[in-house]
Amino acid sequence: RLPQAIIIGVKKGGTRALLEFLRVHPDVRAVGAEPHFFDRNYERGLAWYRELMPRTLEGQITMEKTPSYFVTKEAPARISSMCRGTRLIVVVRDPVTRAISDYTQTLSKKPDIPSFESLTFKNRTTGLIDTSWSAIQIGIYAKHLENWLLHFPIGQILFVSGERLISDPAGELGRVQDFLGLKRIITDKHFYFNKTKGFPCLKKAEGSSKPHCLGKTKGRTHPDIDQEVVQRLRDFYRPFNMKFYQMTGQDFGWD
């Protein structure tokens, strides 16, 4: 079946963790890899997309996650034309931390990229922030959300806090299960906190009796960023964050 729910964003927000946690639920069947259908592979057609989906039983929910959908202009209309009732989940986290995490990921693959500080500004002296850099662009959540609200009612989108996914995974998972109309099966007893990683892990993964933590690529140590630059970014994001809080009716406490 085509997915009834999609995790549409955001990159470096905690989408992989959310998907892994959700897969513990017996009524959730999800694609492991990111299909990138509504952004990169759309011309392959819905039949191709459907083929990627796992087989489900009556009453089970089919899901996929591709974090870049949230920032893809065409994605809302395309998902809506597949099914207007599709439920959407967005995992968001402090846009400044998210940007640094995004940069850290790129740095691990391309060690010779310019410094975070130099990529942040169009012009360091005037302090003008380069919003064309994707690491910064993605965190302007209010702007991307406006595009989705042209095609979906706000009640059909769940906003998950990336921070709370770490500090209270069972609480956030409770909200997600309610939103998806699932029985609250995933609770505190499924998690333990891994001190070395700095985030929660599953006591048992799907189909296994062994504990499961996200891979080595998660929880990388961030480089030290000039505090003045961090402050500039906080000031830059503040009005967008406030607008996002208003639009979603949720205060994420990023300031």
Which residues make up each annotated binding site? 12-16, 93, 101, 218-222
Which residues make up each annotated binding site for 3'-phosphoadenylyl sulfate? 12-16, 93, 101, 218-222
Q: What is the pLDDT of residues 151-209, one digit of tens each?
A: 999 999 999 999 999 999 999 999 999 999 999 999 888 888 887 777 889 887 666 66
Provide the pLDDT for residue 217.
Answer: 64
Amino acid at site 188 = D
Mean pLDDT of 2-28: 96
Extents of the domains making up the chain: 5-248
How is 28-84 classified by DSSP, letter by letter?
Answer: EEE-SS---TTTTSGGG-HHHHHHHSPP--TT-EEEEE-GGGGG-TTHHHHHHHH-T
Provide the pLDDT for residue 219.
Answer: 67
- Domain 5-248 sits in CATH at 3.40.50.300
Provide the annotated active-site residues. Answer: 12
Residue 211: CB partners within 8 Å, gap ≥ 6? Answer: 192, 201, 202, 203, 204, 205
Mean pLDDT of 81-91: 98
Q: What is the DSSP letter of 23?
A: T
